[in-house]
Amino acid sequence: MIDTKRNAWPMTDVARRIARRIARRAHIVFITAHTEYAIDAFKHGALDYLVKPIEHERFADTIARLQERVNSSHPAPNTEQLIEQLAAQLQRPNTNAPLRWIRALVGQALCMIPVDKIDFLRSDEKYTLIAWRDETSKQCEALIRTPLKELIIQLDTTQFAQVHRAVVVNLAAISHVTRAENETAQIALKGRDEILPVSRSYLHLFKQM
């Protein structure tokens, strides 16, 4: 796999260089934050591409495809068909399913946090604090490097709401909202001691107050 963020070449050049240097067939998967070169990369032998931030299920699907390709003695899939599928996908509006899992390092363990178990997310300098409940309803916290602004656009807007420039809350986790000074408010959470701020810009979300 190739992380194009660490390489100054576009996908097309990377695929072409690998194809020239490796006599046997190479199975190339690109990890990228940009898709403008993806179609050309397929023309030069790329098997698949992953767009950052990478979802667990999408990554697992790509690994399965790689294993199938390596273990199979059948000819490679039709490249033109792959190109057509990618072109159609790039032209469609962004209909990606909301984020379902967030990976976080807790101690020495890598945890897969179910998004629907998250109570709130809060920006913490260069990190994002994730506060959630585990399968026993124990309160847990972890810091991840992904900025809050990148996570917000992947969350289900019917479940999560930004209530402050540094805070996103799970609506189902809210116990009650109390009006505060200067057209702001405070959110109390079910079973948690934390009080979350609601800034003036987001007070309209609680019009009934």
Q: Which residue has the higher pLDDT, 189 or 106?
A: 189
% of residues, the chain, pLDDT over 70: 63
Nearest to 115 by CA among 149, 147, 157, 145: 157
Tell me, what CATH number does 112's domain have?
A: 2.40.50.1020
Q: Which residue has the higher pLDDT, 167 or 75?
A: 167
Q: What is the pTM of this model?
A: 0.55
- Residue 31: inside a domain: yes
123 in the same domain as 161: yes
105 in the same domain as 84: no
% of residues, the chain, pLDDT over 90: 43
**Going along 84-126, which residue ranges are E strands?**
101-106, 109-114, 118-124
pLDDT band at 140 (very low <50, low <70, confident <90, very high): very high
Whether residue 13 has pLDDT greater than 80: no
- Residue 169: inside a domain: yes
pLDDT band at 86 (very low <50, low <70, confident <90, very high): low
Whether residue 23 has pLDDT greater than 50: no
